[in-house]
Structure 1
């Protein structure tokens, strides 16, 4: 550490220059990182819906219809003209309408009413549109230009286009709100006007480095793009605070700033490393998910923590020595109280809170596991966007419609007809579009225009489109998926495949449910290992993990008791993020308590610990809570907004339990901790409590 600190302080100017140049280049590179808005693309390759999509992409030119477009007040001829305009628009691979399923040479009154009503009723024409992957924004703009303000568009592709349009702006808006909030918190908690800027500059450089180096990953999900920079900023500011506070303390006894910084680096390195390690391992657990969004988010967050750590131990010391005189010139009085007497205020809450948590933890554990979950983007109900209004208009006119695509081996048209008839009998299935049902089993494909047959047949496969009047997820939607797959597999075995949004979300539910236990166990085991190495104790790590896990159970149980649904991805991520991000509060508190406990009895040590660590924990929790609230309030994306709410509430619960439940646990298990901690050296009477290991040495 001596050589490292000497190198950093001796080469401070080049280090600052290189870091700022790299940050600038990374900021430019971040603008060119592709963002993936399709969560279903992160399903494992073994999922049936993924295998079906890959086969369909290889066999057919057009994919599954992923948008519904409605024009109003038109007759059949006008609707056909709109269909042609849509088909010719950029980014649109195909348009399906009434003329694809019936012969419009026959008067509408003589056609099957069920078939007609699915595409045309009361002057409304509804088109099933296939938008090319990656061209959603261009296609939606073209659709709006064609149908005008009176027309409507909804569906997965429309949601993706809206998310693309909002993602960058929402990240900028979140930072525009969060940075002033953090500056205010830091100004109130420090004694220098410029010091908070140093904190934000160091972490800001690391955020830019993280975002820019995402270009080497090929692409990132919109979830990682949206939440990773904000989480990185909020979680790792503590590292900068640790270092600069150590620098201030060192300068009190060392007038030479270079020597003071070297001392500060040595004194704060272990605390910064331990804090970064627990957060890193919490985030790293996401990488073990089968659902590859976990790896995407986990890698991005872990990379961010590494860059934050490096910036705090390399860039920040160098920059501080270059500009430390600004800190001296911008001193101000302390605005926050010292909180030295907070222990007396919180002491009466210890045992009641401890008892209450023990009473609630099991019911909350069961409740959070039985919450009603969603797996996709969620409903747009209640939103004021055009997409929400269009969705409501289309559903009012034609009802819900969710397509699924069935791929089966080509060649047995009789079996295709049998399958189509069985699929039509499934509850909530409104129509089945296949060659034998739309064209006729007796009509040879050679008699038809290839443009017609190519919708149904490739070189090897037959494609059947099944429409259901359900949402894309939920009990009814998933029941339809199960029954469609059962019918397909009964007739075709493993050669038959089913895909579509509902099928993908069904597979997602299966995958992420298995992922939850794995990621939790890995995160807990990894953080336990770090805590064991940090405290050299058999009981302290368990107490710390129990404190934060109790806060997590309380946090995730709230939706169950309020009757709200919870997105499972948010549930999965917050399990590891809240643990990794807030266990630092418990570490700081326990480490401070252990030091005081060596010179005073437990109650006095707890009072002193609360007096000295409460402000640091409060500041850190305030920043992370602010980050969560900003995500919740600024994001129109249901998953990101929910993650923000869970993060804010979870941080507050972790903070409250660390300053109430944890002190009670340390007090109750004081003797056990002394016996199971290596060289505990706890004070007892006029000397130190002799541990069993010391006695045997």
Structure 2
């Protein structure tokens, strides 16, 4: 066959020059190791939002309208709790922390805000510095403080916004407050949806923690820099737990599978080389290590050890009848290189199908996993056999101990009997069993169509409290204490926030047109059910509400509006350029810039929505309202962006699955046509994969798992990982069919010879990937559990469904070439 010359060339290097092969791989490893220092970390949701139109609109809103801080500024929150923050002691504590931060040059403080400062200025209007404000509070009596609090509560809306929901103006008490410290950050930071990766605020906010702690009291420093630091810590902690656990479990199963110390070390060497190559590639390619990529090392370890078990076990089988190790290895690699190539190609197809995703992190996951599998093929298909031959030669010359060199699952063993259940079924009712399996798969697939799709910030957060079993881990494996989730939950529970109960409509149109403001206001009439109403109109904040509100404060402006308001509804409908000029020149300028750009080409409208409605309902209604605008308008905001990402996740999962199935089917048909001249053999090979994917999808819904940023890759990955078992068994069957007189003899020999290795590899794969449940990120744990479940399904389908599929295939498409009858042969061909 044409492909044989490539295998022969590889065999010549593996068996003829093993030392050269080993040296070449060591040198390549050194090259990839140079890329390891370039691997960075990235976390949060913002990378998932890249290329999403709704996120682009939200970014435009944040860039064009006044944000909480300017482009060259960064903000830190000071969350004070644990006492009455409006007591004299509580006010002084916040003021002291803000003063210490402002006095430290490294904090680069531009300004500070807090309820304590507002109270101090109410007590002493002449106080203009933090030191003077502290003096004003120290001089004040409790009664004076209560009066100042009541005055501010009645006249300054900013004051109550900085206090917890339990604020009582009569008693002048509140259990928590937020202070804002604004820093000069030359590099700038973006006000994006996600939690962000490393930002220039990291070092500032980490140092601010120490300053706040030294001031005493329960003051929490919080901000994007703290989040970035903690996310990086969580990723590191997860890897520090998951990877060693995977190695330990895999080493345990390797010890059972190999039963030989030297072979165990050879397998671990191959695994280490695969990881170094993959991480080095990431460094050279500039791919940051994100939460979703935590799954890649266990995947590569599991697949690599699968290849390793097959390679060592197949070689041991040949050594039972072949004394020459080079000939035994050549025979083993003749079969394994083809099987490994088919497995690698189909696995790469499964992983690469994620490249069509509309989300960058999923595309990067697909790329890194696919490249890692290719590296695994070379390491375990070429390097490991050469290393095995080289070390076996050393055993012959030196007293290196050998414990066991027998293969797993020999014929007649109890294990072999358990693995042959599928052969027994195929012998008795192959057609009926295959039909039942396919019908059941169809039902499972139909049931799986109802899987929920979600995307939320919570999926990327570490748990508020880590599980107790982490406490028994020794340093440095024990994870630290994470504050992100607890702080976010505290803010949501304690302070009135509109972050999750509003949507934004971004309007791009000439806002000086006479009808611009009227049409904007009419869009909010008779709003959808998910919108909060003020009478028959949506509760909104926009340039229209700025115009209406400022008329009450400025009679001259009110007269200007009245002259240009033809229907007397308080909304000007002509000479809008004059109205805008007046606002931009007035004290309302800053407020105006939050909803209208200075060039009058874009506007922002914020609608309040009901917090008890689903993202899907809110998003659909927000888009419906945006469609009411005569000008180009886009619905956006966190709710809309996250729903858009959820839709992309679902579409990506379906498209990736379809591509993986189609690509795998086409490849299998092609490769079996090239190898055996029987393309239809690929259909039999695909049957257990279809069963596996359907049952994995059904199990996801039954067990309550949703398609999210992490689990969306599982279905396509199931094809990539599951095809391994059916390909190995099918390829072994092809070889055995030409040596055995009947189909069932060939199936039995295949299951006895390969089934044991399959069982060993499924155990290592399941536990190697299953260790992801130890990850600090719960979503990664779900991913690991589902992937492990898919591997179990693939293994069972290969042993139970594939034998029946092969029998049916032989009956439909004709037998593979049986062995020739020679002198003494009594065997007959029977299918």
The alignment's TM-score, normalised by the length of structure 2, stands at: 0.70
| Higher alpha-carbon deviation: 240-249 or 269-278 | 240-249
**Equivalent residue number for residue 6 of structure 1:** 12
1:234-292 CA distance string (max 9 Å, x none): 11333333444454455567666566555544443212211211111111111122333
SS of structure 1 residue aligned to 2:628: helix
Deviation string 1:290-321 (CA, Å, 9 cap, x unpaired) is: 33333211111111112122223443344344
Alpha-carbon distance change, 510 to 662 in structure 1, aligned in 2, over 3 angstroms:
same
d(CA) in 2 for partners of 1:463, 1:100: 31
Give the Cα–Cα distance (whole angstroms) in 2 for the partners of residues 619 and 451 of structure 1: 68
Matched, 1:529 2:666: yes
Q: Is the 8 A contact 1:681 1:689 kept in 2?
A: no
Listed as ranges, the matches of 1:41-190 within 5 Å are 41-43=47-49, 45=51, 47-53=53-59, 56-57=62-63, 61-62=70-71, 70-72=79-81, 73-75=84-86, 107-111=151-155, 116=160, 119-121=163-165, 122=167, 123=174, 124-126=176-178, 132=190, 133=196, 134-135=198-199, 137-138=202-203, 141=206, 144-145=209-210, 150-151=218-219, 161-190=229-258
Match of 2:648 in 1: 511
Shifted more, 81-90 versus 391-400: the winner is: 81-90
**Residue pair 1:340, 1:608 contacting (<8 A) in 2 also:** no
Question: Structure 1, residues 49-74: CA drift from partner, whole Å, max 9, x if none?
Answer: 22442564477645999997642232
Distance 2:116 2:511 in 1: 25
**Which residue does 1:695 correspond to in 2?**
none
Distance 1:547 1:265, change over 3 A: closer
Could you say which residue in structure 1 is the equivalent of 2:729? 589
Residues 154 and 391 in structure 1, CA contact (< 8 A), matched pair in contact too: no
Q: CA deviation at 1:207?
A: 1.7
SS class of match (2:614): helix
Equivalent residue, structure 2, for 1:418: 521
Structure 1 position 476 matched with structure 2 position 614 = yes
Residue 365 (structure 2) pairs with residue 365 (structure 1): no
CA shift at 1:671, angstroms? Answer: 0.8
Unpaired segments ≥5 residues, structure 1 = 691-697
Alpha-carbon shift at residue 167 of structure 1 (Å): 0.8
Report the more deviating stretch, 84-93 or 362-371: 84-93
- Alignment of 1:408 with 2:414, yes or no, is no
Going from structure 1 to structure 2, the CA distance change for 1:519 and 1:250 (only over 3 Å counts) comes to: same
Deviation string for 1:389-427 (max 9, x for gaps)? Answer: 333333332366435555435856946983897799974
Shift in alpha-carbon separation, 1:113–1:65, aligned structure 2, 3 A: same
Q: Are the aligned partners of 1:40 and 1:504 in contact in 2 as well (CA < 8 Å)?
A: no
1:235-634 alignment to 2 at 5 Å? 235-248=303-316, 261-262=329-330, 264-325=332-393, 329-333=400-404, 338=410, 339-343=415-419, 357-358=437-438, 360-378=440-458, 383-384=465-466, 385-398=482-495, 401-403=498-500, 405-409=504-508, 411=511, 414=517, 418=521, 427=530, 440-442=549-551, 444-448=583-587, 458-460=597-599, 461-463=602-604, 470=611, 476-491=614-629, 493-494=631-632, 496-536=633-673, 537=678, 539-562=680-703, 564-598=704-738, 599-632=740-773, 634=774
Specify the structure having the higher radius of gyration (Cα). 2
Conserved in 1, the CA contact under 8 Å of 2:306 and 2:762?
Answer: no
CA RMSD in angstroms, aligned pairs only: 4.6
Contact 1:406 1:463 (8 Å CA) reproduced: yes
Give the equivalent residue in structure 2 for 1:635. 775
Residue equivalent to 2:288: 220
Q: Distance in 2 between matches of 1:465 and 1:164?
A: 34
- In the TM superposition, what is the alpha-carbon distance from 1:205 to its structure 2 partner? 0.9
List per-residue Cα deviations over 1:594-641 (Å, max 9, x = no partner): 444453334444333322222111111111111221012x21223322
Cα shift readout 1:218-247 (whole Å, capped 9, x = no counterpart) = 223514531122212211333333444454
Task: Give the Cα–Cα distance (whole angstroms) in 2 for the partners of residues 94 and 545 of structure 1.
Answer: 65
* 5+ residue gaps, structure 2: 1-5, 123-149, 168-173, 183-188, 191-195, 467-481, 534-538, 552-581
- Distance in 2, matches of 1:659 and 1:219, equals 38
Instruction: Compute the displacement of 1:3 (Å).
Output: 3.9
2:355 and 2:366 in contact (8 A); partners too: yes
Match of 1:193 in 2: 261
- Find the aligned partners of 2:506 and 2:101 in 1 and give their Cα distance: 26
1:463 to partner: Cα distance? 4.5
Q: Following the alignment from structure 1 to structure 2, what is the Cα–Cα distance between the partners of residues 648 and 436?
A: 56
Distance 1:606 1:320, change over 3 A: closer
Separation in 2 of the partners of 1:91 and 1:527? 57
